[in-house]
Amino acid sequence: MQEFLAALVSFFLIQPLQAEMAERLGPVSGASVAAVTSCLREATPVLVDRASTDPWGLATDAFGIWTGMTAPETILAATTPGCAAAIAGLRASGAEPQS
C-alpha cells in the first residue's frame, strides 16, 4: 500500500512540482538545482506520509499547484526544513520565482 501511495504522490504532486519549479525558476546554478533536488528527495516521504494521514489536505495542495493557485515553492518550503532552506537559497541567488 505504501508503494501505491508513493506512486500517486509522485505522479500527482512531485512531478508537477518539479516541472512547475523548472518552468518558473528558469536557469539556475548547479548548486541550486542540487539543493532543490535534495529537497524533493527529502520531501517525498513526508508527502507520502501525509497522503495516508491527511489525503484531503494533500489533494488540495496538488489541485492548487495544477491550477496555478498555489506556488509549488510554498508547499515545498512548508514541507521540510531542507526545502525551506533550498527555496531561501534560490531567492537569495536571484532566482526569484516568476509569477
Q: What is the pLDDT of residue 10?
A: 75
Residue 89's contacts (CB-CB under 8 Å, 6 or more residues apart) are: 31, 32, 35
Q: What is the pLDDT of residue 71?
A: 81
pLDDT over threshold 60, residue 97: no
Rounded Cα distance between 83 and 75, Å, is 9
Per DSSP, helices labelled H in the chain are 2-9, 15-25, 30-53, 55-67, 72-79, 81-92
Domain boundary assignment for the chain = 29-99
Q: What is the pLDDT of residue 98?
A: 47
Q: What is the pLDDT of residues 51-90, one digit of tens each?
A: 888 889 888 988 888 888 988 778 888 888 888 888 777 7
Q: Tell me the three cell numbers of residue 71.
A: 506556488
pLDDT over threshold 60, residue 17: yes
